[in-house]
Amino acid sequence: MPKLRNGRNGMLDLQKANMFKRISAAIFDFIILVTLAVGLMWGASSLLNYKSYAEKLKDRRDYYSEKFGVDLGISAKEYEKLTDEEKELYETASKEYGEDKEARYTYQMMFNLILMIVTFPLLLSFLILEFMIPLILKNGQTLGKKVFGIAVMRKDGIRVKGVLMFARTVLGKFTVETMIPLLLLIMMYFGIIGFEGLVVVIGIIFAQFMMLVLTKDRTVLHDKLAQTVTVDMASQMIFETTYELVAYKNKLQAENADKAAY
């Protein structure tokens, strides 16, 4: 039974988890998540035959490179070193390559496949490690939180159940904190958006950091969405239902009243 610390009027104090433990647990969970996700992504890539599309696109690029005697795979710095004549050939080759229907179709397919290869393995990894395992271990504990003795509960002291845990995991951790930044980076890689995508990614990271530093309970976005808080397992009592919480508070008030009578 965890030790209890009572606040004023019989209320239970919030025993916030140590920041070192939270960071350590987060790193532990991140390593497991990335390992699982990368393995699933590799399997999805093989299943969807992504490599064949990449090779097909390279063949089309090489065709126009050979046709005009330029290298379409050079960097911006290397392009600046070209002569005016070479730049003109490069631009002509690049234009024809960009208008090639097969190349455009292959490029679009690669973009779509990358989204699938990234999205579904990551979603499955989050569902396993951040949703199913915490429900099995109870008290909102991931493997990392279990190792470092911390837990997640509702702000009112009640155990986190399925719906809130799902919102915390899928809406918070997966969608907003992971997939939106990743999608923006993928779109930048494919040239769909420019520098503004990086600005948004940095903004999301900065907002998370400020919430962690400035909020009273040191909560980030996924905790705000689910109204949860990370606590020290050794000193925080977590109740199964609101009824149990109210009953316990009433018991404390009765005990305090009896003591005051003496």
pLDDT, tens digit, for every residue of 137-194? 988 899 999 999 999 999 888 999 989 999 999 999 999 999 999 999 999 888 888 8
Rounded CA separation 198/176 (Å): 15
Q: Tens of pLDDT along 12-21?
A: 678 888 889 9
Is residue 10 pLDDT above 50, yes or no?
no
pLDDT at 6 over 70: no
Q: Looking at residues 90-115, what average pLDDT do you find? A: 93
**What dihedral angle (degrees, nearest 10) is formed by the CA atoms of 181, 186, 191, 195?**
20
pLDDT digits (tens, 9 = 90+) for 188-202: 888 888 888 889 999
pLDDT class for 1, splitting at 50, 70, 90?
very low
- Stretch (H or E) spanning 122: helix 101-126
34-60 pLDDT, tens digit each:
999 999 999 999 999 999 999 999 999
The pLDDT of 221-232, averaged and rounded, is 90
Residue 262: per-residue pLDDT: 57
Tokens describing residue 92: 């002509």
Distance CA 46, CA 63 (A): 26
Residues with Cβ < 8 Å from 12, sequence gap 6 or more?
4, 5, 6, 157, 237, 248, 249
Domain boundaries, the chain: 15-254
Residue 255 has pLDDT above 80, yes or no: no
Looking at residue 12, its pLDDT comes to 63
| pLDDT of amino acid 250 | 82
DSSP-derived 3-state class of residue 7 = coil
Provide the terminal-to-terminal Cα distance of the chain, rounded to the nearest Å. Answer: 28
Per-residue pLDDT at 90 exceeds 80: yes
Question: 259 with 17: CB under 8 angstroms?
Answer: no
